[in-house]
């Protein structure tokens, strides 16, 4: 029994996380030096993310042969994203307003070092709305597959798939080739993901060794408030959505436990993206829905990041004794609805987005960001986990809305649990 448990990937990842915590806490310098282990694992996964998304989306459109249907799926996905992610922004603002985690800090902005956050602020200011939209168009077709920008990959995949629908038999031949190529890339993913325990070990050892658990103590109220808020959002908001669809949230979380642990260990949701897409299809969602909703959700449906944005801004306002009017709070939500769309699953993107959102509230000094930069790494783990759960639920919700979800298969897979999947994939 013990050998069987140790042979499962999620137990190995959990062991890697625990060992990383111990090494980082007991030998900080050694832990910090293990950063390349986590970075290497993330790079290996990111190496295949773009081709997987390209092949999946292009194949889905080519097989569907109906751009109107594809546009309908996209429209429903965007509507779902806007409603749920805006709700996340409002929840973060409400919790920050009533819990007041920054009250009593009495921070004097003049005593803070602006150089600590200078890089984040410059990145946020450089990315205007126009530049962000223009960045979606890649310089070259192959450039989209090497840039790491999921929206660029989506754009070229949609164009490629649409072109296939216009080529008749030739297009169907190309689609058949894409189907075979996808199997190769998923084969690569299954090999690489076996390294997840090592990656989680290195990433966690670095986080604890570099920042130290003691860095959480001064701002423990903010960290605890954020984690609890995300937990309640998942349990209540996403729980109600899963209940409306017709399945158990708890069983779903158990089903994607590997992906959640990989996300926890790496502080990024991107390494779990390919396997999340594969599991959504196993749960009965149509490949065309999975191929569109999951990668789009990584830029447009970041529930954890949205909670973090408004909660962190309220914390900084309270910590610097800055009173915000009702109009300023509404402005924060409206601006965050736009800036949050630029965040991705990469560690640190949430903090850049926070800087971009904070720039529209001049009353809060930008230098106040230095107060929370030291704990952002710990908060990014919760952001990423909440984001990936939200995108999994969103995929099944849109598939159900589109009548492209096999409910019998969904319930059967969840009853079988992740062990059967791990055995088939391992």
Q: What is the CATH number of the domain that holds 128?
A: 1.10.3860.10
Residue pair 41/271 in contact (Cβ under 8 Å)? The answer is yes
pTM as predicted: 0.84
Q: Is the distance from CB of 342 to CB of 127 less than 8 angstroms?
A: yes
pLDDT tens per residue, range 135-153:
778 888 888 888 767 778 8
Please tell me which residue, 421 or 401, carries the higher pLDDT value.
401
pLDDT value at residue 47: 86
Residue 167 confidence class, pLDDT cut points 50, 70, 90? confident
Domain count of the fold of the chain: 1
Instruction: Give the containing element (helix H, strand E) for 377.
Output: helix 376-401
pLDDT digits (tens, 9 = 90+) for 86-101: 999 999 999 998 998 8
pLDDT digit string (tens) for 361-386? 778 887 788 778 777 878 888 999 99
Listed in sequence order, the residues at least 6 apart from 101 whose beta carbon sits closer than 8 Å to its beta carbon are 221, 222, 225, 311, 314, 315, 318
pLDDT in tens, 214-268: 767 768 888 899 999 999 999 999 999 999 999 999 999 999 998 998 888 887 8
Check residue 50 and give its pLDDT: 85
**In the prediction, which pLDDT does 130 show?**
66
Closest CA to 101 of 381, 333, 311: 311
Tell me, rounded to whole angstroms, the distance of Cα 195 from its chain centroid. 20
Q: Give the Cα separation of 308 and 313 in Å (integer).
A: 8
Q: Which domain holds residue 301?
A: 2-425
């Amino acid at each position: 029994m013990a050998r069987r448990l140790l042979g499962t990937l999620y137990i190995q990842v959990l062991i890697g996380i625990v060992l990383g915590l111990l090494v980082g806490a007991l030998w900080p310098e050694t832990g910090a030096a293990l950063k390349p282990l986590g970075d290497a694992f993330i790079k290996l996964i990111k190496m295949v993310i773009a081709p997987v998304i390209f092949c999946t989306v292009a194949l889905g459109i080519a097989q569907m042969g109906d751009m109107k249907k594809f546009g309908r799926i996209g429209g429903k996905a965007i509507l779902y994203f806007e409603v749920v992610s805006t709700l996340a922004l409002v929840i973060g603002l409400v919790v920050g307003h009533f819990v007041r985690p920054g009250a009593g800090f009495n921070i004097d902005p003049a005593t803070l070092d602006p150089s600590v956050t200078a890089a984040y602020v410059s990145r946020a200011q450089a990315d205007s709305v126009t530049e962000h939209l223009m960045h979606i168009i890649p310089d070259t077709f192959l450039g989209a597959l090497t840039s790491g920008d999921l929206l660029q990959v989506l754009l070229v995949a949609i164009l490629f798939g649409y072109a296939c629908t216009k080529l008749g038999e030739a297009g169907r031949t190309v689609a058949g080739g894409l189907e075979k190529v996808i199997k190769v890339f998923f084969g690569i993913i299954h090999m690489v993901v076996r390294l997840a325990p090592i990656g989680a070990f290195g990433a966690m050892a670095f986080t604890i060794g570099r920042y130290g658990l003691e860095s959480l103590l001064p701002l423990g109220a903010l960290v605890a408030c954020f984690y609890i808020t995300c937990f309640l959002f998942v349990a209540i908001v996403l729980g109600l959505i899963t209940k409306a669809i017709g399945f158990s949230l708890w069983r779903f979380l158990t089903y994607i436990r590997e992906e959640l642990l990989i996300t926890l260990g790496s502080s990024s949701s991107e390494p779990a993206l390919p396997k999340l897409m594969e599991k959504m299809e196993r749960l009965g969602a149509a490949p065309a829905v999975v191929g569109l909703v999951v990668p789009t959700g990584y830029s447009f449906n970041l529930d954890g990041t949205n909670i973090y944005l408004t909660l962190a801004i309220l914390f900084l306002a309270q910590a610097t004794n800055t009173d915000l009017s009702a109009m300023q709070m509404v402005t924060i939500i409206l601006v965050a609805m736009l800036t949050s769309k630029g965040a991705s699953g990469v560690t640190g993107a949430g903090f850049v987005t926070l800087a971009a959102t904070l720039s529209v509230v001049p009353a809060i000094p930008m230098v106040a960001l230095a107060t929370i930069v030291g704990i952002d790494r710990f908060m990014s783990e919760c952001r990423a986990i909440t984001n990936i759960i939200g995108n999994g639920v969103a995929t099944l919700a849109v598939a159900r809305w589109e009548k492209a979800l096999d409910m019998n298969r969904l319930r059967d897979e969840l009853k079988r649990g992740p062990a059967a999947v791990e055995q088939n994939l391992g």
